Chain A
Amino acid sequence: MSDIPDSPSTTALRRRLAELRGADVAPRPLDARALAALAANPGCRRRALLDGAGVDKGALAKKLGSPAAFGQSQFAFARGHAFEARVKGDGGAELMRLVHARTGTAGTPAPEPGEVAVPDLTASGPDGRAERTRLALERATAEGGWALLNHPMVRLEVAGSPVHLEPDAVAVHPDGRWTVVEIKSFPILDGAADPTKVGAAARQAAVYALALQALGGRVDERMLLVCPKDFSNLPTAEAVDLRRQLATTRRQLARLTRLEEIAAALPEGVTFDPARPADELAEAVRRLPAAYAPQCLSTCELAFHCRERARAAGSVEVLGREARGELGGLTTVEAVLAAARGEAASLSGGDGTDPSDDPPDDPAAAALRRAARLRAEALAGRS
């Protein structure tokens, strides 16, 4: 796909995104982790456009006065690197042994040392590296042997714009299958690992697998997750089924509103260049509709800003998705309290919706009135 010349609309979009990012600002590459997080909240146009345009959301958030601390401890960083180096050491012999043991075809022999091709993937620029990766995969598949691609580069079209991604490794089996390998430094303890961390790794791997599928390969629907065993530094691995994550990510990425549409809704001259004054940036960000949820706090640099805005607007989203779901069509704190007081019909216009949308016998409002009455009764009995 990289040898197809960019269409004029793609070029126009790139120019538009560069304008939005700011004239002299280098784009911030999207990684699979960000993509997986984006796919987890596909309704957020703010995040889709800012990420798609490569805006440095961290710098933007700082300028807006709501910096998010997304640091990594150097201890964790060092440990992660040391572990990955160890796993891949010795020409990847240990890693390929795990690939064979967990995802190899039953009954086939394990790769002998020296039998694994480790193609050189160095090239200048992400496009060059993606091209090298494509050629190496093609060749390894044609040769029908074992191959290990260390830090390959793959491309994925996201919301109309290409994104470069770098998996930890991709293994090519003699039968032509490609397996995504992720190396993580959280432990597999007594055969079990932290489910939230495994889930995050699987979502990330699903993004890589989708990008590999776009190259036309036979991509394994299981990933190989390599982690330290128990309390040691020794690697162990498990195959993790990706079918669900693949389906979800594919669907979510398709649902991501096209960047063109979002960008078209912004007036000319709007920019997210962090060098601009804060109030101008705040206004620009305000024009991009967000879908805030507390889960954003752990995945998006702009989340604290969005939360502040959601709180200022009295939106019930700040209470969490669960609460939001339970309140039905009542979207603001004011509207909920009014409904609880039995004033739903007269006050529901306060959140900007048409009062006729909210008839007085709205079951959500009626349930709230009963809830408020029961709650007040129980609290009054306490003394």
Chain B
Amino acid sequence: MSLISTLARVEAAATGRARPLTTVRHRHLAERPMVLVPLTTAGEVGAPLGALVGTDRDAPRLLVVPQPRDRTLRFAFLAELAEVVLPHLESAQGTVELQERAETDPETGKRVKVEVELCADAPQLIVPNTAGISYVRLLGRSTRFRRTAEEEPDSPHPAPARLPLLGRWLTHYGERARVPGSSLLLAVTEVLGRHWATGQSRLEDQHLGALLAWIEAEEGTSGAEAALRVELARDGDGVPLTPPAGPATDPAFDNRRLAPAIARHDAGLPGAEEEIRELVASQLRPTWDAVWRALDLLRALPPGARVADRWKRDRWSYTAHRDRLRAGEPPQPRRDDAVTAARKLAARETALAELAAQEALDDPLVMAERRLSGEAFAGEVVRVEPAWSEGKRPMPRPLVTVRTDDLPHLEEGDRVHRALEGGKSQPGVFVASPAPGLFTVRLTGGMGRGKVPEAGSVPEEGETVCWTLFEHAPRGGPDLPDPEETPWTHGGPPDPDALDAPDPVTPEDLL
């Protein structure tokens, strides 16, 4: 957290209403996302209790497991989930655009341009909170190794036909969610927390209802009080009036409402299943509505200029998974091999640096944080001095001096970067600080090939410019070997025939 966002929290605490942390929206929101609000049984990993899911806020599909310990009912739930979620996740596979990509030709070893397909869009999945993302990952893990009746005719407990496929998609979305700035699978508490500061701690912000209460507070009302009501108000049985966004249910709800209803269901009493469905719906519906309200709030923010660029990476990720499925590759392994794991980590590090740079470039309020920390400076150009490089073909290397109140951590020779119209960035080198508050930068590129800089490529006196000390398109580290060439220090090449066996189905997993 930066001092500016801490200050925003203090302002929110003083006014009782959330304060903006950004001036634009930094995550992609699909036109038609699918919202999934899951509930699980306390203490039972992988025993879902129910879910609300769908793309239409007025018509969610309610899925309920009346007895979560019953494997048959769990499978029925998962089959129904696959029926709703898979068509959404598969919906963007067919519409593609062609992209050029440089690939190494396996025969000649030369870099050649090839045309590859890129899905024009990717389906988005939205869950209420980060626990929801973990749950998506868990559902993926618990289902992707299952065998269907077709794959294993003798299995006493075959999985429903499309279930392993659902598991593979959910696993992919769950993994993608670990990449900073990705938007295939979003948790609304995280996205709201990125854009607004409340007057409470980040820990308390994980409660979707309370977080929304701070943000939705109208002028003159107290979001703090509304959040407190959401957090604490309970009925006579101690069941919270605003249920938690889960996926775990409230213990008082479990003990006072759900357990007696499940007991009636187990006893075979008529109407018990409907009762459980209503109970589960009562816990899901407020969160469902809250997620859609959160999406409304986020949609009201204009998207940042580079959001589409990051979404394109999500589309690449989606397309790559589609291609792996089409190629008949086995499900994602339980544990990545050394090279894959190192690649993923490197990709996430690059994505994090890129996200930090892009958010700052898209949003003056985020840039303000970088300026405060001495990683950027902005000010008015007070002097431009034409100069040229030495050598056979002198190139323009003008000196630009700006006046600023910022205090950048600069030493002579440090590289600085400036965003140009059209998304390119211009490099420069810090030369000197002729007087306090004045900084002189030598432009070293982005001015065309001629002896005279291209029009508009050199700032003019009086213009306001912003230089950053960080790169705008940070590159990743060195290349990694192919998995087949994993060195022995890292366990050697993975066994190409090693397949993760499905989890054994034993009487023990009857919970």
Taking Cβ atoms with an 8 Å cutoff, the residues of A that contact B are 69, 71-80, 185-187, 189-191, 228, 230-234, 294-295, 297, 304, 311, 314, 316, 318-320, 322-323, 326-327, 333-334, 336-337, 340, 367-368, 370-375, 377-379, 381-382
Give the interface SS of chain A, mostly helix, strand, loop or mixed: helix
Does B204 make an interface contact (CB < 8 A)? yes
Interchain residue pairs with CB less than 8 A apart (27): A71-B250, A73-B42, A73-B249, A74-B255, A76-B43, A77-B43, A79-B43, A79-B511, A189-B45, A190-B335, A230-B503, A231-B45, A231-B142, A231-B503, A294-B200, A294-B203, A311-B224, A319-B201, A326-B1, A333-B14, A337-B14, A371-B3, A377-B368, A378-B364, A379-B20, A379-B365, A382-B23
Nearest residue in A to B42 (C-beta to C-beta)? A73
Which A residues are in CB contact (< 8 Å) with B234? Answer: 69
- The residue in chain B whose Cβ has the minimal distance to the Cβ of A234 is B508
Identity of the chain A residue whose Cβ is nearest the Cβ of B335 in the assembled complex? A190
Instruction: Please state if B255 and A323 are interface contacts (CB–CB under 8 Å).
Output: no
- Across the interface, which residues of A come within 8 angstroms of B259, CB to CB? 74-75
Contact A191-B503, Cβ < 8 Å, known A71-B255, A75-B259, A231-B509: no
CB-based contact B509/A319 at 8 Å: no
Q: Which B residues touch A368, using CB under 8 A?
A: 3, 7
Residues B372 and A371 in contact, CB atoms below 8 Å apart:
yes
Q: Could you mark each residue 231-274 of chain B with 1 if its beta carbon is under 8 Å from any beta carbon of chain A, else 0?
A: 01010001010000000011110110001000000000000000
Within 8 A of A (CB), among B31-61: 41-46
- The answer to whether A294 touches B509 (Cβ under 8 A) is no
Q: How many A-B residue pairs have CB under 8 A?
A: 155
Q: How far is the CA of A319 from the CA of B13 in the complex (A)?
A: 8
Quick check: A75 and B44 within 8 Å, CB to CB?
A: yes
Interface residue tally of chain B, by bracket? 35 or more
Q: Give the docked Cα–Cα distance between A381 and B46 (Å).
A: 49
Q: Which of B238, B367, B509 contacts A378 (CB 8 A)?
A: B367
Interface residue B8 (Cβ < 8 Å from any Cβ of A): yes
Task: Decide: A72 near B335, CB < 8 A? Known: A186-B45, A371-B4.
Answer: no
Chain B neighbourhood of A314, CB < 8 A: 13
- Choose among B201, B371, B372 the residue that contacts A318 (Cβ–Cβ < 8 A): B201
Q: Is the CB of B7 within 8 A of A375?
A: yes
Q: How far is the CB of A27 from chain B (nearest CB, A)?
A: 25
The reply to whether B3 and A367 form a contact with Cβ atoms under 8 Å apart is yes
Contact of B7 among A186, A311, A340 (CB under 8 A): A340
Whether A326 contacts B3 in the complex (CB less than 8 A), given A69-B250, A75-B41, comes out as yes
- Compute how far the CA of A326 lies from the CA of B369 in the bound complex, rounded to whole angstroms: 14
Q: Determine whether the beta carbon of B365 is less than 8 Å from that of A375.
A: yes
CB pair A294–B365 under 8 Å, yes or no, is no
Asked if B142 and A76 sit within 8 Å, CB to CB, the answer is no
List CB contacts (< 8 Å) of B486-511 with chain A.
503-504, 506, 508-511
Q: Which residues of B contact A78 (CB under 8 A)?
A: 43
**Cα–Cα, bound, A191→B334 (Å):** 10
In the bound assembly, the distance between CA atoms of A218 and B217 in angstroms comes to 59
B11 adjacent to A337 (CB under 8 Å): yes
Q: Which residues of B contact A374 (CB under 8 A)?
A: 4, 368-369, 371-372
Chain A contacts for B8, CB-based, 8 A: 375
Flag if B254 contacts A75 (CB, 8 Å).
Answer: yes
**Is B506 a contact partner of A232 (Cβ separation < 8 A)?**
yes
Q: Taking the complex as formed, is B221 at the interface, i.e. its CB lies under 8 A from any CB of chain A?
A: no
Are B141 and A190 neighbours in the complex by a CB distance under 8 Å? yes
When the two chains form their complex, are residues A378 and B23 in contact, meaning their CB atoms are under 8 A apart?
A: yes
Q: How many angstroms from the CA of A234 to the CA of B507 in the assembled complex?
A: 10
State in angstroms the CA–CA spacing of A162 and B167 once bound together: 52
Residue B6 CB within 8 A of the other chain: yes
**In contact, B252 and A75 (Cβ under 8 angstroms):** no
Contacts A327-B6, A368-B7; A185 near B201 (Cβ below 8 A): no
* In the assembled complex, B397 has its CB within 8 A of some CB on chain A: no
Instruction: A304 to B10: give the CA distance in the assembly, Å.
Output: 20
Contact between B10 and A319 (Cβ–Cβ < 8 Å)?
A: yes
Q: Is the CB of A69 within 8 A of B6?
A: no
**Nearest chain-A residue to B334 (Cβ)?**
A190
The smallest C-beta distance from A296 to any residue of chain B, in angstroms, reads 10
Residues of B within 8 A of A77 (CB): 43
Distance, CA A319 to CA B224, complexed state (A)? 12
- In the bound complex, how far is the Cα of B4 from the Cα of A379, in angstroms? 12
- Taking CB as reference atom, which chain A residue is nearest B510? A233
Contacts of B367 in A (CB 8 A): 378
Kindly state whether residue B451 has any CB partner on chain A within 8 Å: no
Q: How far is the CB of B250 from chain A (nearest CB, A)?
A: 7
> Is there a chain A Cβ closer than 8 Å to B409's Cβ?
no
What's the least CB distance linking A108 to chain B, in Å?
A: 28
Give the CA-CA distance A187 to B240 in the complex, in Å.
28
Residues of B within 8 A of A74 (CB): 254-255, 259
Contacts of A72 in B (CB 8 A): 251
Cβ contact within 8 Å between B238 and A69? yes
Given known pairs A233-B511, A377-B368, the reply for A69 and B11 (CB within 8 Å) is: no
Min distance, Cβ B247 to any Cβ of chain A, angstroms:
13
* Chain B residues with CB under 8 A of A336: 7, 10
With A69-B234, A75-B68, A375-B365 already in contact, 20 other A-B pairs whose C-beta atoms are closer than 8 Å: A69-B238, A73-B254, A75-B259, A79-B511, A189-B138, A231-B142, A233-B511, A297-B203, A304-B232, A314-B13, A316-B13, A319-B200, A323-B1, A337-B10, A337-B14, A371-B372, A374-B368, A378-B367, A378-B368, A379-B20
- Minimum CB–CB distance from A237 to chain B (whole Å) comes to 16
The 9 closest A-B pairs by CB, nearest first: A76-B43, A71-B251, A320-B201, A73-B42, A294-B201, A73-B254, A374-B368, A79-B43, A378-B365
* Residue among B45, B224, B508, B510 having the largest count of chain A Cβ atoms under 10 Å: B45
CA distance A340 to B41 in the complex (A): 48
B199 is an interface residue with CB less than 8 A from chain A: yes
Q: Are A69 and B200 in contact (CB under 8 A)?
A: no
- Whether the pair B45, A228 counts as a contact (CB closer than 8 A) is yes
Give the residues in chain A near B405, CB-CB below 8 Å. Answer: 370, 373
Q: In the complex, A382 Cα to B24 Cα: how many Å?
A: 9
The reply to whether the CB of B172 lies closer than 8 angstroms to some CB of chain A is no
| Contacts known (A319-B199, A326-B3); A375 close to B10, Cβ less than 8 A | no
Contacts of B113 in A (CB 8 A): none
CA distance A319 to B12 in the complex (A): 10
Residue of A nearest to B367 (CB): A378
